[in-house]
Amino acid sequence: MKKILVTGATGQIGSELTMALRDRFGADNVLAAGHGRPPLSKLQQSGPYCSFDVRDASVLRQVVEDYQIDTIFHLASLLSAVGEEKPQLAWDINMNGLLNVLEAARVHGCAVFFPSSIGAFGPGTPAVDTPQDTIQRPATLYGITKVSGELLCDYYHRRFGVDTRGLRYPGLISNVALPGGGTTDYAVDIFYEAVKSGHYDCFLDADTQLDMMYMPDAIDAAIWLMTADGRKLRHRNAFNITAMSFTPRQLAAEIQKHLPGFTIGYRIDPVRQAIADSWPRHMDDSAARAEWGWRPRFGLPKMVEDMLEKIAVKLGKG
């Protein structure tokens, strides 16, 4: 990893992953690429930045060539809830964007990181201890693009020798950039509302249990996997990883330990509830642990403590 391109660099993962990569591999060696969402000033000022649409194959190829990129973290994607609002657009961005990245990687010899998701599973998948290799018949367009992406990355590795690697992320909780229209967004929104108003109306039912992870672990995992010994990776493109698993009720109770006056109500969004109900409650991530040594640093109590502290500072209430 000498020259790195991050697509979707202004998104929830990209905003933090780009900074971590710049710290580790040198600011000038990490090109952040956004589109649509304006970059945070820290991201724009700390290293090279450009803006293009990943669906434009020729611009992407040119960027890879001009900057002599050898590794692409391809994060540009629509999330699950917005994907249900705009399924055709989600297919276009998620699939054609990935195909363009893989083609650029094939031609220019780059390694590729692709984030898959719990969304790659569906109602027929075992929801508890979801195995690494199991039934994948997702019910959302987002999930369909994630399974297809996993398979396409496998194909580019097998057929063309491209060093593709990826993770199935659970819901990601972060305090730098907001997620952009996912089903697990409640687990971020709740912190802003807890600090701002002391009350949150959750769009998922109190007992909807989902896998989750704090962003520092998600960032570490991506870099860890991309720097792991490739010869040890059997499931290279779709490692289950998780750090914690909780319900809105349990998250609220943990927040109440710090903010005793905090209250939660429930105004269920049937679309997002149906999506959540089709996803795993707890994935088995033993393949990631065995093949590249994955282990998370943050569980629920430590994540909640850190989130409340950071969000309070961000909102000027620290």
Specify the residue, 8 or 182, whose C-beta has the smaller distance to ligand SER: 182
Annotated catalytic residue, options 49, 67, 142, 200: 142
* Residues 91, 95: Cα–Cα separation, whole Å: 5
Residue number of the CB closest to ligand SER reads: 182
Specify the residue, 60 or 98, whose C-beta has the smaller distance to ligand SER: 98
Q: How far is the CB of 67 from ligand SER (least distance, A)?
A: 29
Residues contributing to the site for ligand SER (CB under 6 A): 79-80, 117-119, 142, 169, 171-172, 182-184
Q: For residue 23, with 0-12 CB atoms within 10 Å meaning exposed, 13-18 middle and 19 or more buried, which class applies?
A: exposed
Query: How many Å from the N-terminal Cα to the C-terminal Cα in the chain?
Result: 38
* Residues 210, 202: Cα–Cα separation, whole Å: 14
Specify the residue, 110 or 243, whose C-beta has the smaller distance to ligand SER: 243
Angle between helices 97-108 and 141-160 in degrees, nearest 10: 10
Per the annotation, the verdict on 142 as an active-site residue is yes
CA-wise closest residue to 72 among 177, 178, 162: 162
Specify the residue, 193 or 211, whose C-beta has the smaller distance to ligand SER: 211
Q: How far is the CB of 83 from ligand SER (least distance, A)?
A: 8
Q: How far is the CB of 180 from ligand SER (least distance, A)?
A: 9
Identify the helix (H) or strand (E) that includes residue 156. Answer: helix 141-160
* Residues 6, 74: Cα–Cα separation, whole Å: 6
Q: How far is the CB of 230 from ligand SER (least distance, A)?
A: 25
CA dist 92 → 96, 177, 295 (Å): 5, 24, 34
Residues belonging to the active site: 142
